[in-house]
Amino acid sequence: MKQGLKQALKRVAPGGGDQELAERVARLEREVADLRRHNLRLAELADVVQELLVPMAQRDQERVDAAIAAFQDAL
């Protein structure tokens, strides 16, 4: 209990936890940026799957080949 109280006082004391909070915010911002990149990549993959499924269902090999080529070019 005493240790938790000391840590809480450090956080609210002027200058007590500024560096720690700045480091935590920086780490969280990096994690958010990583998640955004992953979400963008996932959206791109979902688009590719959609572009492939419709032509495949319609047996349109030309469109399938074009979608695969476009995906490979994007890599």
Q: Residue 3 pLDDT more than 80?
A: no
Q: Report yes or no on whether pTM surpasses 0.75.
A: no
CA dist 24 and 16 (Å) reads 14
- Residue 50's pLDDT band, with cuts at 50, 70 and 90, is confident
Q: Residue 2 pLDDT more than 70?
A: no
Q: Which amino acid, 8?
A: A
Name every residue whose Cβ is closer than 8 Å to that of residue 68 and which is 6 or more positions away in sequence.
52
- Residue 35's pLDDT band, with cuts at 50, 70 and 90, is very high
